[in-house]
Amino acid sequence: MIFSIGEVLIDFIAKEEGPLKKVSTFEKHAGGAPANVTVGLARLKTPTALISKVGADPFGEFLVEQLEKEGVKTDYIRFDKEKHTGVVFVQLIGAKPEFILYDGVAYFNLEIDDIDFSFLEKASLLHFGSVLFAREPSRSTVFEVIKKAKGKIPISYDVNIRLDLWRGREDDMIKDIEKALSFAEIVKIGDGELAFLENHGVDLENFDFKLMAVTKGEKGSEMIHRGIKVKILAHKVEPVDTTGAGDAFMAALLSALWYMGKLKHLELNEEELLRVGRFANLVAALSTLRRGAWSVPRAEELKEYKEAREVLIRRELPL
């Protein structure tokens, strides 16, 4: 089972394009990068669970119910009686999202006592992102969890920088990202985030990753594994909403490795690396055809695509 630790929240997505100050109506969607990954995994029939915290409020109840409907194991989500569920307002301009995240919410209040470490006995991989590093106690909790996981199970990391949470503390953010990178074996990073880190003196070649994926939107992606580097063309679509596309890519990448039996012993030849990248690109592209971050197509919907069949049939899915 693949576990993710991090935020689950409500995305209020503007129904009209343009500046938020001029938007009058919003749609409520479930979101949060690590939660998006778990939902993507579940839709791809990969067993998954989320470690998180929501408010003891209607939004928190809604999110847990929706995760359960998607097939995500929610036993490791805690309800906070002091903090409300996190909310984000999403501004869509040309189908590309910009975010306003709110502070003082339940997922930033994730404490070490909220963690049931028995998950390490069930997990085949632990996935995390950067958002919870922006505040305490969630920052210390996540680092303690990945520290305990290191050496026991594989660890994946999506850098997903949210500068709005770090205003005036960018140096702290970069230090935390570098620390997180030192724990990770599988890393996904957007090309803009990669350029940002390089401009701030971070050289990713100094880290010992087993696999790194660089996503480039409509330009496709690049997969790097033990000296093998492959470039993969994007699957061409006309996007409606790109919210969560990176998380869809991450879910598909991890799912592909799980189907291929590669999570525990991550050794890929060039053909296998291409197969993983093509599948991740396909799922990410198709996810942009629907609104909201929980937009990964279900495994059964992918049967017409060669890029999916060459991965999913490995576990005898009825495609």
Model pLDDT for residues 258-312, shown as the tens digit of each residue = 999 999 899 999 999 999 999 999 999 999 999 888 999 999 999 899 999 988 8
Judged against a pLDDT cut of 90, whether residue 101 lies above it is answered with no
**Closest C-alpha among 288, 270, 260 to residue 232:** 270
The tens digit of pLDDT for each residue in 104-158 reads: 999 999 999 999 999 999 999 999 999 999 999 999 999 999 999 999 999 999 9
Whether the pLDDT of residue 163 is over 50: the answer is yes
Parallel, antiparallel, or unpaired: how do β-strands 48-55 and 2-5 relate?
parallel
Count how many residues are written for the chain: 319
Distance CA 241, CA 127 (A): 24
The CATH superfamily assigned to 2-315 is Ribokinase (3.40.1190.20)
pLDDT of residue 319: 42
Tell me the per-residue pLDDT of 222-269, one tens digit each, with 9 for 90 and over: 999 999 999 999 999 998 888 889 999 999 999 999 999 999 899 999
Backbone angles phi, psi at 278, to 5 degrees: -65, -40
Distance of alpha carbon 197 from alpha carbon 107, whole angstroms: 25
Q: Which amino acid is at 114?
A: D
Please say whether the dihedral angle defined by the alpha carbons of residues 116, 118, 123 and 127, taken in this order, is positive or negative. positive
Looking at per-residue confidence, does 217 or 83 come out higher?
A: 83
Residues 6+ apart with CB under 8 A from 205: none
Q: What is the pTM of this model?
A: 0.95
Mean pLDDT of 184-204: 97
State the burial class of residue 120 (Cβ atoms within 10 Å of its Cβ: 0-12, 13-18, 19+).
Answer: middle
The residue type found at 301 is: E
- CA distances (Å), 228 to each of 47, 148, 222, 259, in order? 29, 30, 10, 21
pLDDT level of residue 13 (50, 70, 90 thresholds): confident
What integer pLDDT is reported at residue 102 of this predicted model? 86
Q: Which two tokens stand for residue 90?
A: 């999403």
Sheet strands side by side (includes 26-31): 26-31, 9-14, 87-93, 96-101
Question: Per-residue b/e over 37-47, b at no fewer than 16 CB within 10 Å?
Answer: bbbbbbbbbbe
